[in-house]
């Protein structure tokens, strides 16, 4: 069972993403800002962090950098409502994203998803990261 | 014509006439007086000479007592017609030959002046020695011819003065005109200059120094005028150009500021919409999964999902317009390949009534960019061109070549000046655009197409891509003759380091 921490300031995003991941059999805990997320990450033993990048207060890039430092093994997915060219986002030669997502990758994110992602994109991405952890 | 007193020739005429009215009577009376004097002098001299001659003839006779001889001599005066009266008066005798009344002739012995006594006869008395006697010879001359001479002198003088006046009156305007002509010439020339015929030569047909000097002065003035005129014209032209340039720059600045504002706004809205679309897409997907295969709601939910995906695509295009890319994500792109790929895609979808005319220059340098974005840019420009064609018929010309920035482009995009540029041109012979449309053509959601034919995002996405790549996009268009979109990218020279994109971990 995979434990996932989800940080996003949008309630609808938190709830819909949680629903999708829980249906896949994962455990999801949510935080509505980076401060709350960092507090949860300290005690909880999460496998994957999914964090929005642009948020009020501490922004996602800082949160990702802190968690990467404290949890080197945790897989991190950055999500943001930046530019999106569908599945091409997964092809390195054609990646286009915002400076924020670029910064998130530099801060330690393993993957980026641009909103609005489809259900399959989200599920595939999480599954791939779980497989990578097991290897 | 101006009244006589107000023109130069009129004044000269009047002046000369006034002088003549003063001078001519004086001249006339003086002349006539002199004539009269000289006539009288001649008359007197003639008369005296005659009387003397008569006296000499009498003194020479042999017999002073012979009255018959004396009478003969006296008669010769009257008979020759030079006198009208001759008389010899002695102590005791009186001999006489006369054409006048004797009583009248006896009244006076001698006249002191011509015209005395109203008798029209001038009497002269001369003492004569006749033998041993002292006698008096009295001779009378007719004054009438003298009076006639004087009268005709008056008349002739008047006639001469009259002829002179008439000639003067005829000549004066001619002389006046001759004097005034050079002035009129100069006046005409000045008028020509005033009315703008600056290059007419200023001449005057006169050898009068003043006029020649005046003409020279005017010519000099004209030359300076021409010089000043040209300088002023040049300055006005320069200012006009500067003003036009300033306005054009202002316009472009406003345009790009507007696009930037719209872009920022569109980006913000797109970001919010993306957040909203996440739950819509995810919940719809879950709902579809949960519904039985045959549920009618399932189809509805699928529509919700597909609508949401369409929304996502539109938002994504808006973001392309508004987004500021990170340049490190770019790599060297061969535009020739991009154009070929795009054309291949288009060929499959265009009707046979449309001709795609593709020209790709050899050895076009690469440009820094993103091939999928470049592809989208090319496709967007071509799609716009295809949609502009009237009745779906026409030609879309696609050209890829190298170029350099013209002055306009250098001004609006200083980074492109003095660089090799790669130029992509998409030209259609469709309906074209008016100026107002051209102004707004790159704004998101601005469209001239009918409902359902376009989102109004294609060209704003193209603009976004070009701006991100530090390129320039320009449109030239005329209603009914088509539009040309030109895109300029700085050409890459030498090696380009391809930045590492985001690689999955």
Q: Please state the pTM of the whole predicted model.
A: 0.49
Distance CA(B102)–CA(B114), nearest Å, equals 20
Residues of chain B below pLDDT 70: 1-4, 101-108, 198-200, 202-203, 263-264, 320-329, 450-454, 494-505
Q: Which residues in chain B are closer than 8 Å to A117, comparing Cβ atoms? A: 278, 281
Name the residue in chain A with its Cα closest to that of B279: A16
What CATH number was assigned to the domain covering residues A3-134? 3.40.50.2300
User: HEC profile for B331-380?
Assistant: EEECHHHHHHHHHHHHHHHCCCCEEEEEEECCCCCCEEECHHHHHHHHHH
Tell me whether residues B504 and A84 touch, CB distance under 8 A: no
**Optimal mutation site among B274, B373, B375, interface A, most CBs of chain A within 10 A:** B274
Tell me whether residues A84 and B274 touch, CB distance under 8 A: yes
B202 vs A66, higher pLDDT: A66
Distance CA(B137)–CA(B87), nearest Å, equals 6
The gap from C-alpha B305 to its chain's centroid, in whole angstroms, comes to: 75
Q: Quick one: pLDDT at residue A85? A: 30
Distance CA(B426)–CA(B397), nearest Å, equals 6
Name the residue in chain B with its Cα closest to that of A73: B505
Q: Are B36 and B150 in contact (CB under 8 A)?
A: yes
- With CA atoms as reference, report the closest residue to B64 among B91, B38, B43: B91
B34 CB burial (10 A radius; 0-12, 13-18, 19+): exposed
Q: Quick one: pLDDT at residue B116? A: 73
Tell me whether residues A93 and B501 touch, CB distance under 8 A: yes
B13: left (phi over 0), alpha (psi -120 to 50) or beta: alpha
Please spell the DSSP secondary structure of B293-328, one letter per residue.
Answer: TT-HHHHHHHHHHHHHHHHHHHHHHHHHHHPPPPGG
C-alpha distances in angstroms, B317 versus A82, A121, B267, B310, B474?
Answer: 11, 20, 10, 11, 20
Pairing mode, strands B472-478 and B482-490? antiparallel
B353: left (phi over 0), alpha (psi -120 to 50) or beta: alpha
Q: Quick one: pLDDT at residue B57? A: 84
The gap from C-alpha B154 to its chain's centroid, in whole angstroms, comes to: 64
- Shortest alpha-carbon distance between residue B267 and chain A (Å): 9
- Shortest alpha-carbon distance between residue B310 and chain A (Å): 11
Residue whose pair of structure tokens reads 């005329």 in the numeric block: B478
Q: Quick one: pLDDT at residue B495? A: 42
- With CA atoms as reference, report the closest residue to B171 among B17, B21, B5: B17
Q: Does B329 touch chain A (CB under 8 A)?
A: yes
- Shortest alpha-carbon distance between residue B237 and chain A (Å): 48
DSSP state at residue B138: E
- With CA atoms as reference, report the closest residue to B285 among A40, A2, A119: A119
Q: Quick one: pLDDT at residue B322? A: 60
- For A33, the token pair is 């800002």
Is the N-terminal amide bond of A116 cis, ω within 30° of 0? Answer: yes
- For B108, the token pair is 């006076």
B176 vs A130, higher pLDDT: A130
Which H or E run includes A50?
strand A48-52
- Shortest alpha-carbon distance between residue B244 and chain A (Å): 39
**Optimal mutation site among B273, B275, B280, B325, interface A, most CBs of chain A within 10 A:** B275
Distance CA(A11)–CA(A32), nearest Å, equals 7
B347 CB burial (10 A radius; 0-12, 13-18, 19+): exposed
Distance CA(B305)–CA(B296), nearest Å, equals 15
Tell me whether residues A12 and B276 touch, CB distance under 8 A: yes
Q: Quick one: pLDDT at residue A61? A: 86
Among A20, A86, A102, beta carbon nearest to B502: A102
Tell me whether residues B323 and A115 touch, CB distance under 8 A: no
HSE (side-chain half, CA atoms, 13 Å) at A118: 17
Enumerate residues 432 to 471 of chain B having a beta carbon within 8 A of any beta carbon in chain A. none
The interface predicted TM-score of the complex, written ipTM, equals: 0.84
Which H or E run includes A31?
strand A27-31
- Length, in residues, of chain A: 135
A76 vs B504, higher pLDDT: A76
- Shortest alpha-carbon distance between residue B271 and chain A (Å): 5
- For B371, the token pair is 């091939």
Q: Does B18 touch chain A (CB under 8 A)?
A: no
**DSSP-derived 3-state class of residue B428:** strand
């Amino acid at each position: 069972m995979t434990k996932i921490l989800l940080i996003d300031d949008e309630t609808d995003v938190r709830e819909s993403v949680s629903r999708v991941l829980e249906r896949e059999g994962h455990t999801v805990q949510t935080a509505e800002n980076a401060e709350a997320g960092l507090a949860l990450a300290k005690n909880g033993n999460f496998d994957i962090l999914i964090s929005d990048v642009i948020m009020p207060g501490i922004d996602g890039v800082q949160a990702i950098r802190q968690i990467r430092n404290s949890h080197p093994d945790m897989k991190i997915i950055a999500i943001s409502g930046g530019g999106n060219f569908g599945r091409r986002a997964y092809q390195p030669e054609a990646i286009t994203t915002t400076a924020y997502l670029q910064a998130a990758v530099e801060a330690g994110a393993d993957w980026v998803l641009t909103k609005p992602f489809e259900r399959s994109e989200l599920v595939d991405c999480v599954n791939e990261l779980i497989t990578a952890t097991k290897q | 014509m101006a009244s006589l007193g107000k023109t130069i020739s009129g004044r000269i005429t009047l002046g000369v006439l006034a002088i003549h009215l003063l001078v001519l009577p004086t001249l006339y009376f003086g002349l006539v007086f002199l004539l009269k004097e000289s006539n009288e002098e001649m008359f007197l001299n003639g008369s005296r000479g005659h009387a003397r001659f008569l006296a000499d003839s009498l003194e020479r006779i042999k017999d002073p007592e012979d009255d018959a001889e004396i009478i003969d001599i006296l008669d010769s005066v009257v008979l020759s017609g030079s006198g009208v009266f001759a008389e010899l008066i002695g102590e005791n005798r009186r001999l006489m030959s006369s054409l006048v009344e004797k009583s009248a002739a006896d009244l006076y012995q001698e006249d002191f002046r011509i015209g005395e006594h109203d008798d029209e006869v001038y009497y002269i008395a001369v003492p004569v020695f006749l033998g041993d006697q002292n006698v008096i010879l009295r001779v009378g001359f007719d004054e009438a011819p003298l009076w006639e001479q004087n009268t005709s002198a008056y008349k002739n003088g008047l006639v001469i003065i009259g002829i002179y006046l008439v000639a003067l009156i005829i000549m004066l305007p001619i002389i006046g005109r001759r004097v005034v002509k050079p002035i009129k010439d100069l006046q005409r020339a000045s008028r020509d200059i005033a009315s703008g015929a600056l290059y007419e030569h200023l001449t005057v047909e006169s050898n009068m120094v003043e006029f020649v000097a005046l003409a020279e002065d005017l010519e000099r003035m004209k030359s300076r005028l021409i010089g000043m005129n040209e300088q002023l014209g040049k300055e006005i032209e320069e200012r006009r150009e500067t003003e036009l340039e300033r306005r054009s720059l202002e316009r472009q600045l406003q345009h790009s500021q507007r696009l930037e504002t719209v872009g920022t706004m569109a980006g913000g809205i797109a970001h919010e919409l993306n957040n909203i679309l996440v739950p819509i897409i995810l919940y719809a997907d879950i709902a579809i999964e949960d519904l039985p295969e045959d549920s009618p709601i399932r189809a509805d939910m699928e529509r919700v999902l597909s609508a949401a995906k369409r929304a996502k695509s539109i938002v994504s295009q808006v973001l392309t317009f508004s987004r500021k890319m990170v340049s490190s994500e770019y790599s060297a792109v061969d535009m020739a390949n991009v154009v070929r790929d795009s054309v291949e895609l288009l060929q499959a979808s265009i009707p046979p009534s449309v001709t795609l005319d593709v020209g790709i220059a050899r050895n076009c340098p690469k440009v820094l960019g993103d091939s999928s974005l470049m592809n989208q840019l090319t496709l967007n420009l071509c799609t716009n061109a295809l949609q502009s064609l009237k009745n779906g018929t026409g030609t879309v010309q696609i050209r890829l070549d190298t170029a350099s920035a013209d002055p306009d482009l250098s001004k609006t995009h200083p980074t492109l000046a003095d660089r090799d540029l790669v130029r992509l041109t998409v030209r259609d012979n469709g309906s074209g655009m008016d100026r107002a449309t051209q102004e707004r053509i790159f704004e998101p959601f601005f469209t001239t197409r009918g409902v359902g034919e376009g989102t109004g995002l294609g060209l704003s996405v193209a603009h976004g891509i070009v701006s991100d790549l530090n390129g320039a996009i320009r449109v030239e268009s005329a209603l009914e003759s088509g539009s040309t979109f030109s895109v300029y990218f700085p050409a890459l020279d030498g090696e380009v380091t391809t930045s590492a994109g985001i690689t999955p971990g």
